[in-house]
Amino acid sequence: MKHNKKHFVIAIDGPAGAGKSTVAMLVAKKLGFLYVDTGAMYRALTLKALRQKLDLNDRQSLIEMARKSKIELFQNENHYKVFLDGKEITEEIRTEEVSRNSHFIASVPEIREILWDIQRSYRNNHNIVMEGRDIGTVVFPDAQIKIYLDASVEERTKRRYLQLKQQGIEIDIKKLKEEIIKRDEKDSKRDIAPLKKHPEAIVIDTTNMTIEEEVLLITEIYRKRIKSE
Ligand code: DC
């Protein structure tokens, strides 16, 4: 990469359960880019607020907590780990309780500002694949590639159901679908950085695609883009 050029960013946005993490991780691995899961950061602060039994409607105490927190993402060839204040929380942030409550953290502008700074700093030294809700719209509006990954609510429910089942967690599929619809609403209707498609985003509907096909499509988009430069 030339010095006068910004590092390459592949921004992947989309609703909960569209399969962003799996695809983003595989694309990053294939291209030798750094994978950054921004949802993990909102989850980490949610976990901390829950552990501290903070009132999730009390924005001021959430902001104070966020200012005093250290979130780190570590990655090597095969592992991806999340640390909060020096302790690993990779597994702990994946519970339904954290999923259900993370909108409280995600809707506080001052907290998003803190996390945006961390997210933007990754580009200083790396080419990155970053996934979330507002990466192409807010974090990196100048990302060289913006992808919006979508899938039907039914398909996203099915995928999440199977994922939970694999972890030995049985959950009512109707309830799960309702939760996903609720999270979609919260993500797309919040005042700050709501989930929306950037006009330049390439929309990929993954409802009938395999993960391999998705990875291939995105890496092809990247190769074409590099060739045309
Ligand atoms: O993608 P995820 O389910 O791990 O995201 C966790 C929460 O963080 C969810 O409430 C959406 C929110 N989020 C966000 O507001 N902006 C991002 N860039 C990533 C996640």
CATH of the domain at 218: 3.40.50.300
Q: Whose CA is nearest to atom 1 of ligand 1?
A: 39
- Domain with 126, as residue range(s), is 9-222
pLDDT for residue 117 is more than 60:
yes
In this prediction the pTM is 0.94
**What pLDDT, in 10s, does the model give residues 56-103?**
999 999 999 999 999 999 987 778 899 999 999 999 999 889 999 999
Other Cβ atoms within 10 Å of 56 Cβ, number: 16
pLDDT for residue 3 is more than 60:
no
Give the ranges where 68-210 is alpha helix by DSSP (H): 96-106, 109-121, 153-166, 173-189
Name the pairing type of β-strands 9-13 and 34-37: unpaired
Does residue 38 form part of some domain? yes
- Determine the distance separating the centroid of ligand 1 and the alpha carbon of 95, expressed in angstroms: 13
**What pLDDT, in 10s, does the model give residues 10-66?**
999 999 889 899 999 999 999 999 999 999 999 999 999 999 999 999 999 999 999
**C-alpha span between 55 and 61 (Å, rounded):** 8
**C-alpha span between 85 and 72 (Å, rounded):** 8
Q: Whose CA is nearest to atom 15 of ligand 1?
A: 106
Does residue 35 form part of some domain? yes
Does residue 228 form part of some domain? no
Does residue 152 form part of some domain? yes
Lowest mean pLDDT segment, chosen from 75-79, 111-115, 119-123: 75-79
* Residue 185: exposure state from Cβ atoms within 10 A (0-12, 13-18, ≥19): exposed
- Averaged pLDDT for residues 128-133: 97
- Determine the distance separating the centroid of ligand 1 and the alpha carbon of 78, expressed in angstroms: 23
Question: Would the CB of 102 count as within 6 Å of ligand 1?
Answer: yes
DSSP state of 101: H
Question: Would the CB of 103 count as within 6 Å of ligand 1?
Answer: yes
Does residue 124 form part of some domain? yes
- Determine the distance separating the centroid of ligand 1 and the alpha carbon of 58, expressed in angstroms: 20
Does residue 54 form part of some domain? yes
Nearest to 41 by CA among 18, 15, 85, 73: 73
Atom of ligand 1 nearest to the CA of 102: 10
Question: Would the CB of 112 count as within 6 Å of ligand 1?
Answer: no
pLDDT band at 150; cut points 50, 70, 90: very high
- Cβ distance 187 to 15 under 8 Å? yes
Measured between its terminal Cα atoms, the distance across the chain in Å is 12
Does residue 1 form part of some domain? no
Q: Number of structural domains, the chain?
A: 1
Does residue 103 form part of some domain? yes
Question: Would the CB of 194 count as within 6 Å of ligand 1?
Answer: no
Question: Would the CB of 160 count as within 6 Å of ligand 1?
Answer: no
Question: Would the CB of 132 count as within 6 Å of ligand 1?
Answer: yes
Question: Would the CB of 198 count as within 6 Å of ligand 1?
Answer: no
Atom of ligand 1 nearest to the CA of 13: 18
- Cβ distance 41 to 121 under 8 Å? no
| CA 217 vs CA 31, 41, 73, 155, 197: distances in Å | 13, 27, 26, 20, 19
Question: Would the CB of 146 count as within 6 Å of ligand 1?
Answer: no
- Determine the distance separating the centroid of ligand 1 and the alpha carbon of 223, expressed in angstroms: 28
Question: Would the CB of 43 count as within 6 Å of ligand 1?
Answer: yes
pLDDT for residue 5 is more than 80:
no
DSSP state of 204: E
